[in-house]
Structure 1
């Protein structure tokens, strides 16, 4: 991905200098087990880490690698701003309002709960911000087998896509239904939300290629591989568990890759309606 030297976004809230966490709580091997639980099941395990401790504030050292990752995220976010502004002009009656991305290192707080390495990147509709610890990119490469700068760009684009869903009113409606549904039905709706975000990520990739010429050979393969590596079935299997479809919250590897490719191939919001799809 050709990103160096290009415009960055101003919609970055940088909290990397300070980590806000909890003292006490789970320690040692217990921490590792809880973190894996969060990664593989896609849930916020911060409350488990917080048990028995008070709040702590840690001053973080910002390394050159941290700065490069932040620059990369800033450029990628700027690309999403331009792409979605154009898509909204062409396909939606209304203007796109860009999302704010919170960069943190270690842990921070959000209205949707604690943000840490255990949660992974996420979008919080309450304050309409994306929360991202760039160390997750290292986790993707070393633990999940999803390396490459465009794989990391896909992660950013996916979380921004949740903001697009919020802007379109989709996310609020879906979450209202989820709140009144059974656990199995709620999970099924969650899968629809996540697959649509994957499809929107594909739309972003298509337009980024056309507008900026930033996509290089092999980039799309990196994004599709990332989508496959973080499918619910693959994560559960890699965790030594038998895949249980009724617990899926993000979709299978095949589904995630296919919906990303659908967005890339069509570039159309209407083609990403997972809620009306006969088959996910």
Structure 2
């Protein structure tokens, strides 16, 4: 991927720290448990992943250390984010709307957000409360080492997926999902709202990939396969099989590997937001 062609964003910021580690010898209490439950819903992650894995003898420690960011990695993130701004700015303008650009916060270890405290364990995420994408760059190494999904376009897909959540927020999807949840529609499960929302973000990432390629001609041989491999490697069924040895569809939050590939390809091949309706019918 010739990512150097991308427009640079002015919305990348480096977090200067200030968060605190969950757990570590102190009971969370009711308030802490409520915060974890909220984070689990907002980030669509297992909230226990936010807990310090250390034993009870480990004292609480700050995790919001100033992020040490490699200049080239920051430039890469800026180029990808900038290309999403151009893509979505044009698409929103074509429909008579202004695109509000999200900010992207590069943090290390842990970070304080409008959605609460979060640690690196939750992975990259989007917080609708402050309209920010949060990314610990160490995830890119984990993407390569743990998920076996290397390559620049695989990394770009991760960023574009989180920006897809921002697009959903601007379009009112988050509000509609929240209303449906309050009416008793289940969040988790193979047909749950969480899976449908995540698959739509995959599709929107595909729309970005299509539109940015038309404009920049920056994809190279093997790039599409990198992104499809990344989508496949982080499917619920694949992750559960690797970590638990069994697959439990009732606990799905992001969709199967096949679904994630399917919906990313739907956006990639069409370049049309209208092809990203994951809330109607089968997924």
TM-score range, shorter chain: 0.7 to 0.9
Matched, 1:150 2:149: no
Aligned runs of 1:1-280 on 2, under 5 Å?
A: 1-4=1-4, 6-15=6-15, 17-18=16-17, 20-22=19-21, 25=24, 42-45=45-48, 48-49=51-52, 54=60, 56=62, 59-60=65-66, 62=68, 66-90=70-94, 92-181=95-184, 183=186, 188-276=192-280, 278-280=281-283
**Secondary structure class of the residue paired with 1:256:** helix
TM-score, normalised relative to structure 2: 0.85
TM superposition shift of 1:241: 3.0
Shift of 1:47: 5.0
- Matched residue, 2:35: none
1:118-164 deviation digits (Å, cap 9, x = unpaired): 11001101111111101101101000111111000000000000000
Kept after mapping to 1: 8 A contact 2:20/2:62: yes
Q: Deviations over 1:105-127 (max 9, x none)?
A: 12111121223221100110111
Q: Which has the higher strand share?
A: 1
Are the equivalent residues in 1 in contact too, given 2:149–2:233 (CA < 8 A)?
Answer: yes
Secondary structure of 2:62's counterpart equals: strand
TM-score by length of 1: 0.85
Structure 2 gaps, min length 5 = 26-39
Question: Once the 2 structures are TM-superposed, how far is the Cα of residue 67 of structure 1 from its aligned partner?
Answer: 2.3
Cα shift at 1:4: 2.7
Q: 1:48 to 1:183 in 2, by over 3 A?
A: farther
**Superposition deviation, residue 259 in structure 1:** 0.4
RMSD in angstroms over aligned alpha carbons? 2.5
How far apart are 1:53 and its partner, in Å? Answer: 5.4
Tell me if the contact between 1:158 and 1:201 (Cα under 8 Å) persists in the aligned partners.
yes
Aligned residue pairs, count:
263
Change (3 A) 1:270 1:248: same
Cα shift at 1:13: 2.1
Q: Is the 8 A contact 1:190 1:250 kept in 2?
A: yes
C-alpha distance in 1 between matches for 2:66 and 2:100: 31
- Whether the 8 Å CA contact 1:116–1:133 is kept in 2: the answer is no
The structure 1 segments of at least 4 consecutive aligned residues displaced by more than 4 Å after TM superposition are 50-55, 57-61, 182-187
Could you say if the C-alpha distance between residues 61 and 197 of structure 1 is closer, same or farther in structure 2, counting changes exceeding 3 Å? closer
Q: Secondary structure at the match of 2:20?
A: strand
Kept after mapping to 1: 8 A contact 2:88/2:99: yes
Q: 1:255 & 1:6 partners in 2: Cα distance?
A: 29
